[in-house]
Structure 1
Amino acid sequence: MSKKSLRTTTCLLAAVVAIAAPLTFAAGKTPLRAVAAAATPDPDARVDRLIVRYRPGAIERSNQQRLVGAVQSALNRSGIAAAGSASVQYVRKTATGADVVKLSRKLDRASAGALMRTLAADPSVAHVEPDLRAFHADQPVRAKTAVSPMLTPDDEYFAQYQWHLHHPTGGINATSAWDASTGEGVVVAVLDTGVVDHEDLNGNVLEGYDFITDPFVSRRETADRVPGAHDYGDWNDDGSQCPIRPSSFHGTHVSGTVAEMTNNGIGMAGVAHQAKVLPVRVLGRCGGYTSDIADAIVWASGGEVEGVPANENPAEVINLSLGGNGACTAGSEYQLAIDQAIANGTTVVVAAGNSNVNMSNFSPASCAGVIAVGATRVTGGKADYSNFGAGVDLSAPGGGGAVDGNPNGYVWQNINDSETAPEEGTQTYMGMTGTSMAAPHVAGVAALVQSAAETPLTPAEMETLLKNTARPFPVSIPGSTPLGVGIVDAEAALGGIVPPCEGDDCTPDATPIVNRSPVTGLMGDKDAELLFSLDVPAGASGLSFMTYGGSGDVTMLVSFAAEPTADDYDLRSTRPGNNERINIAAPKAGTYYIKLVGVAKFAKVTLEARHN
């Protein structure tokens, strides 16, 4: 393989107005330069698409004509559609059951806000939000790169350039983890700009799907969703739509961090280099729509999306290196899609954002149930652009840019060097910075864990494991800008997997409970398992186990002297809801194990054991 030029670029989030929808964290690039992006809001953001969710039973929920009429009526009542200047067209239904409508002309912020308030005042409307494209505001600064790679026995640029995988202070301890796991058998969905051909990545890429429904954004001729996730380039030469910028090939770089081919004597390495990447294209020219991204989240996790064939390779992990302004609320399109993914057993990893502000007002990073990732430098300290806050779960290498020099200021992976379409360029390797680069490190470590675990971890268990095994920050992180519990540590995460219980002396890891002392506030996701133990003395009688209260649905399994499983138990209670009960007239003296299994997500459940 010839020595291709290596370049640097940054990947910083541009802020948008409060009603804005997702934007990518990718930044543009030109040969031999680093690109810094300024986070500036767009004061003239326009809205021409809405996501409207009607309550169950509302006629509009099943009648497109009535829905369009209702939105048109709201336009008229808002005074926006004077003299018929704005009309409504139905677009489609989303995977979460909402409807997307398109207006015949764009509305400014004030008009869009008035329309949404009018719609929300209808008691049959559960939720309404804008479905916008978002934009970047790049300010390039030229800086030449060093291009003298040090060859290594394996991947030629690994030792010198990929500090983020092996550096003792700023890296994630990937090399130490690879003895235990390389991600084999795990699928990681990368929802991004798609991927391009690259010999150091192709072998680990599944076919994927293109979810973009706007031909201007996708650069395809139709609005149909199509198989494959080819990145046509996200450059823009039409300043009326969004800022003029070159292509980023962001999804290819992110996919490389997850699973670039490794130990093949060329290029660079990926965190989980025997995992498979499922590319899902949701971002193109001028960003991507909330409705497309949410549908892709559902599909990638194995859920159903109308008009799209079933996903034959459901992902155990989804990486979202994208986002935009606006807090993620319980009824939002993002949250409902993520809830479905989690219910399907998929861990969702999200970049925290690059505006150096509190993450609480960014979506989907602020959605419940995700692993939100901040960015650190080679020093292990906070990258100056990284969002922060109590909602950040942990951090990973994102690069510090010019302050740390080249190559240690950037995260390096495979990419295409074209400014426009990939066919105009060649495959190469490049450094980028951003929480976009941090998130796939965490997604890759999650893939390593799932590959090594005897039983796949639930999303909640995965988050707990990664946070419990994170490496403490090697430098002080100011209390005003928290970045989570530490830096993701691949080796420690694998070491934290609970091994199977074997041998005569092995006892299950259970939480002890006491006779007639209720255990309250129990909660978990669908398929979550909570194990408890009760020591019963000789001579006890009338033993009962019961659960009650709260929400959701649990099943209770009970065995004597061994942990019960779905296929091996002594007694079981499977009533609908949480009111489970098991009675044992003549209990044995010894330890009983009680397992609660989430048939659905449950919360505030009480477990109690009673005997005389």
Structure 2
Amino acid sequence: MYQFSRLSACALAAAISVAVLGAADAAGPRFVVRATEAPSSRAAADAMTRRYIVRYRNGTAQRASTLQALGAARTALSRSGIAAAKPGLSVRHLRRLAGGADVIELSRPLDRVSSAALLRTLASDPAVAYAEPDRLLQHTGMAAPSLMPNDPYLAQYQWHLHSPIGGINAPAAWDKSNGAGVVVAVIDTGITDHNDLDGNMLPGYDFISDAFVSRRPTDERVAGAHDYGDWNNDDTQCPLRSSSFHGTHVAGTVAEMTNNGRGMAGVAHGAKVLPVRVLGRCGGYLSDIADAVVWASGGSVPGVPANTNPAEVINMSLGGPGACDVTLQSAIDTAVANGTTVVVAAGNDNDDASGYAPASCNNTITVGATRVTGGRASYSNYGSHVDLSAPGGGGGVDGYDGYVWQALNDSLTAPELGAQVYGGMSGTSMASPHVAGTVALVQSIAPAPLTPAQVEALLKGTARAFPVAIPSATPMGSGILNAKAALNEVVPCQGPDCESSARPIANKMPVGGLSGAIGTELLYSLDVPVGASGLSFMTYGGSGDVSLLVSYGTVPTALAADVRSVRPGNSESARIAVARAGTYYIKVVGVKAFAGVTLEARHN
């Protein structure tokens, strides 16, 4: 995840690691360790800022006219005393955002104290709905299958896709879906040319509105999403650093071309990626990111052509300290209203995600990071805001193969000076696109598009249990992403006789000795006569953990069950107050490996 600072820092988040794998030759692949742990985003939170977002209330003169909005900002500078204390300080109106707020820019940045004074003065104006810094955001990155494609590095390096311990069970999911027909927006640093990615990339757009940040000649937003590199050689603006080409790596996780005899594989390799560039040198502005979210979902943004490829899924591997900004929350709400699922990284500060945005924003799927072992990555944020986890890698902790591997460029500055290679990174940035790619797999085959809320419930409900204990003080959501189980819930069986595999059971006749591994699903059926009452289903005894799902006339799924019981352990109970004559289907699901469990159905 590209970490963003409260204001203008550009240091990467903690636990950032990169290894680079060159093209294979007779001597084997080559590895280069390119980056190590970087300063925490918290340390940069008091940096200077020069841009602010102000939302004027409907019906005010400032809302009706950008000239009036500019005049009000100048008045606020004067009332706050900042203009008198800083002679020559001027302000200009940059743009009006998709949500109706205005972005204003000062001729030079303010320190934390002066910035707070300006915000207080703006907020005291009855015409102002809210005012907040247009802070710079940064990425938080670099911190037995039934179908195995022929990509040469998949089996050896991409444990995160296929490992039964730490992976997401992607190859088994590819039997049902590759994400075809779905668009995934990657809002990040943009994209570089790479022959293992290019075929799945859409044109995209560059939303960066500052020439210093973008490395383009002007402040204008432009078509295309070429990553010019986010290296910085000017420490007066933010710390010195090399280019990350973070967006290329994230896009690779989502949809790197697969089964092409080249390189590595992507989760949803039949989907298309819409690259949206918002992060460059020193990070990216909140206002640019908010507009990018709206545009990527098919919404209208002033001065930007309509998006002809609206995304069903948005991935934001970016974030930083502080509560969710009003501007960002409004943009996310717009995207969700447009039917787009928004997936975000939890952050790399080994802290509660409630103190970071967009991890703490509503209407998002927030993703924590796990290692090869399936345990929490030491850098990953945690807490009640984390919905589920996915592989982020442990980097040097687990050796070179503990990274998450995808396409990359090995230049330290501009991509034109580097080569197309494959790189290993670790961070919650790497975890989030595994989830975004799985959403694409799901939407590609869903009989009807799932709403963002349904997608979230599906992924959380089908996540597999962590294979190692997660301390109660650092919760990591419902479990580890399980692509195969998610697809099985969307299309639980093939053909017209889906229920034919159910084993019949009889009233008040216990069925014992049930056992299975994590994710095992055992299906049973019960024929209920006319006039039956007091219908109930239960499991008990044995070891492990199961859940119980029951539906009338059809196979229950995590998304659709008439009744369910999901208590910890094996003592489950589901009751039907008014029984119908006909067939009930009962599914016993292994939340963990289980053995010796008994199932019983009863009615009068």
Q: Same fold (TM over 0.5)?
A: yes
Structure 2: state its 5+ residue gaps.
20-31, 500-552, 554-580, 582-604
Q: Which residue of 2 aligns with 1:583?
A: none
What's the offset of the Cα at 1:498?
A: 5.5
Letter in 1 for 2:98: A
Q: Determine which of 293, 296, 301 is the counterpart of 2:297.
A: 301
The residue identity in structure 2 corresponding to 1:32 is: V
Structure 1 CA distance, aligned partners of 2:142 and 2:486? 38
Aligned ranges for residues 162-561 of structure 1 at < 5 Å? 162-328=158-324, 332-407=326-401, 409-497=402-490
Structure 2 SS opposite 1:413? strand
**Out of 123, 127, 130, which is 1:124 matched to?**
127
- Cα separation, 2, equivalents of 1:93 and 1:33: 40
Cα 1:373/1:43, change in 2 over 3 Å: closer
**Residues 26-65 of structure 1: matches in 2 within 5 Å?**
31-39=32-40, 40-42=42-44, 44-65=46-67
Tell me the amino acid that sits aligned with residue 72 of structure 1: R
Supply the distance in 2 between the matched residues of 1:406 and 1:194 (Cα, whole angstroms). 26
CA distance in 1, matches of 2:482, 2:498: 31
- Relative distance call for 1:118 and 1:498 in structure 2 (3 A) is same
Question: For the Cα contact (< 8 Å) 2:8–2:282, is it kept in 1?
Answer: no
Aligned equivalents of 1:193, 1:381: Cα separation in 2: 29
Map of 1:148 onto structure 2: none
Moved >3 Å (runs of 4+) = 11-14, 19-34, 134-140, 498-506
Residue 13 of structure 1, CA deviation? 4.3
Per-residue deviation at 1:252? 0.3
> What does the per-residue CA deviation read over 1:152-190, in whole Å, with 9 as the maximum and x for residues that have no partner?
971111111000000010000001100000000100000
Residue 105 (structure 1) aligned with residue 108 (structure 2)? yes
Confirm or deny that 1:80 pairs with 2:76. Answer: no
Q: Which residue of 1 aligns with 2:92?
A: 89
- 1:497 CA drift (Å): 1.0
Specify the alignment match of 2:520 in structure 1. none
Distance 1:160 1:69, change over 3 A: same
Query: Is the alpha carbon distance of 1:416 and 1:444 closer, same or farther for their aligned partners in structure 2, counting shifts above 3 Å?
Result: same
Deviation at 1:403, TM superposition (A): 1.4
1:204 and 1:501 map into 2 onto residues whose CA distance is 29
Q: Deviation of residue 32 (structure 1)?
A: 3.2
Cα distance between partner residues in 2 of 1:136 and 1:463 = 23
Identify if the C-alpha distance between structure 1 residues 163 and 410 changes in structure 2 by more than 3 Å, giving closer, same or farther.
same
The secondary structure found in structure 2 opposite 1:355 is: coil
Alpha-carbon separation, structure 2, partners of 1:91 and 1:166:
47
Q: Deviations over 1:439-492 (max 9, x none)?
A: 000000000000011111000000000000001111111111111000010000
Q: CA deviation at 1:394?
A: 0.3
Deviation of residue 41 (structure 1)? 1.0
Instruction: Name the TM-score, length of structure 1 as normaliser.
Output: 0.75
Question: Is the contact between residue 208 and residue 214 of structure 2 (CA under 8 Å) also seen in structure 1?
Answer: yes
Distance 1:56-1:211 versus aligned 2 partners, 3 A rule = same
Give the C-alpha shift of residue 113 in structure 1: 0.4
Q: Which residue of 2 aligns with 1:554?
A: none
The residue aligned with 1:512 is: none
- Tell me, yes or no, if the aligned pair for 1:22 and 1:323 is still in contact at 8 Å: no
Look up the equivalent residue of 2:193 and give its one-letter code: D
Is the 8 Å Cα contact of residues 255 and 269 (structure 2) preserved in structure 1? yes
How many residues matched?
A: 486
Q: CA deviation at 1:38?
A: 2.9
Q: Which runs of 5+ in 1 are unaligned?
A: 1-10, 141-151, 507-560, 562-589, 591-612
Alpha-carbon distance, 1:58 to partner:
1.1
User: Which residue identity lines up with residue 464 of structure 2 in the other structure?
Assistant: R
Take 1:460 and 1:136, find their aligned partners in 2: how far apart are those partners?
26
The one-letter code matched in structure 2 to 1:68 is L
Contact residue 25 and residue 321 of structure 1 kept, 8 A: no
Percent of residue pairs bearing the same amino acid type: 63
Tell me how far apart the structure 2 counterparts of residues 449 and 58 of structure 1 sit (CA, whole Å): 45
3-state SS of paired residue (1:428): strand
Give 1:158's aligned amino acid: L
Match of 2:69 in 1: 67
Residue 42 of structure 1: how far off its partner (Å): 2.2
Aligned to 2:443, the other structure's residue is in SS state helix
Distance 2:427 2:468 in 1: 19
1:308-351 CA-to-partner distances (Å, cap 9, x unmatched) read: 1111110000000001111115xx11011001100100000000
Matches within 5 A, 1:130-149: 130-134=133-137
Give the TM-score taking structure 2 as reference length.
0.76
Change (3 A) 1:450 1:287: same
- Judge conservation of contact 1:24–1:323 (CA < 8 Å) in 2: no
CA shift, 1:35, in A, is 1.5
d(CA) in 1 for partners of 2:140 and 2:493? Answer: 51
Asked if structure 2 preserves the Cα contact closer than 8 Å seen for 1:38 and 1:137, the reply is: no
